[in-house]
Amino acid sequence: MIIQKEFYDKSALEVAKELLGKVLVREVDGKILKSRIVETESYIGAIDKACHAYNGRRTKRTEILYDEYGLSYVYFIYGLYHCLNVVTNKKDIAEAVLIRAVEPLNEFDYLANIRFKKDYNQLKKADIKNLTNGPSKLCLAYSIDRDMNGRQLYTKGPIYIEDDNYNNFEIVETKRIGIDYAEEAKDFLWRFYIKDNIYVSKK
């Protein structure tokens, strides 16, 4: 069942934990690709020096963070990679959740060929982990780019999120990754992941 819009009308800290175990759906190339969200990070503009909208910063890129909850926020980094986020909380409160890693649930050969130009059964164990164990890797595997920016994740379309009532897991809370520049914010325990899942980017 597609998650309703109201689900996202909460703090990014709440939504980041509640998104774990949910199913990211991407419709592309005539296929319906599904993956389980296994790792997330929260970003809160008001107090978070790692957030693109810290201290009320508003630019063409970050304006969507101030928009309605339940939208996708896709940004480009290092001139190479995309990252998928979910906008949360009320309008004009800049918060989002980064989808940091997912576990593929179907179409394994398709994903393996997108990422490594091989069928799934030809992949080494390390390759299987590397399919989607990071924000840019999952965007490559699921063809998520700026065309997916601003999409309503609570509406059936090219990208949305479902709930299949999977909840048999333990959540680990720890520091976020790659934000050493963010002063005190680098120590916030705002990264969440499903314990023991092999697709988590860093334990």
Residue 111 forms part of a structural domain = yes
Residue 76 belongs to what domain range?
5-194
Residue of 176, 185, 109, 114 lying closest to 145 (CA atoms): 114
Residue 148 clears pLDDT 90, i.e. is over it: yes
Q: What is the pLDDT of residue 80?
A: 83
Helix (H) or strand (E) holding 95: strand 95-104
Q: Which has more pLDDT, 177 or 203?
A: 177
Q: What is the pLDDT of residue 203?
A: 87
Q: What is the mean pLDDT of the chain?
A: 96
Please report, for the domain that includes residue 161, its CATH number: 3.10.300.10
User: What is the DSSP code (8-state) at residue 162?
Assistant: E
Q: What is the C-alpha to C-alpha distance for residues 133 and 199, in angstroms, rounded to an integer?
A: 5
Residue 73 forms part of a structural domain = yes
Residue of 190, 164, 163, 185 lying closest to 175 (CA atoms): 190
Counting DSSP H helices and E strands in the chain, the numbers are 4, 8
Structural domain count, the chain: 1
Residue 142 clears pLDDT 90, i.e. is over it: yes
The structure's pTM equals 0.96
Phi, psi dihedrals of residue 156, rounded to the nearest 5°: -60, 130
Residue 166 clears pLDDT 80, i.e. is over it: yes
What separation, in Å, do the N-terminal and C-terminal C-alpha atoms of the chain show?
Answer: 30
User: What is the DSSP code (8-state) at residue 178?
Assistant: S
On whether the CB atoms of residues 101 and 138 are closer than 8 A, the answer is yes
Q: What percent of the chain has pLDDT over 90?
A: 90
Q: What is the pLDDT of residue 146?
A: 95
Residue 79: pLDDT band with limits 50, 70, 90: confident
Q: Is the dihedral of CA 189, 159, 3, 163 positive or negative?
A: negative
Residue 97 forms part of a structural domain = yes
Residue 201 forms part of a structural domain = no
CA angle 30, 141, 109 (to 5 degrees): 65
Q: What percent of the chain has pLDDT over 70?
A: 100
State the average pLDDT over residues 37-51: 94
Tell me the per-residue pLDDT of 81-117, one tens digit each, with 9 for 90 and over. 999 999 999 999 999 999 999 999 999 999 999 999 9
Residue 202 forms part of a structural domain = no
Residue 203 forms part of a structural domain = no
The helix/strand/coil state of 109 is helix
Enumerate the β-bridge partners of residue 86: 72, 97
Residue of 64, 35, 47 lying closest to 135 (CA atoms): 35
Helix (H) or strand (E) holding 31: strand 31-44
Residue 182: pLDDT band with limits 50, 70, 90: very high
State the average pLDDT over residues 193-198: 98
Residue 120 clears pLDDT 80, i.e. is over it: yes
Residue 57: pLDDT band with limits 50, 70, 90: confident
Q: What is the pLDDT of residue 78?
A: 75
Residue 165 forms part of a structural domain = yes
Q: What is the C-alpha to C-alpha distance for residues 137 and 112, in angstroms, rounded to an integer?
A: 12
Residue 200 forms part of a structural domain = no
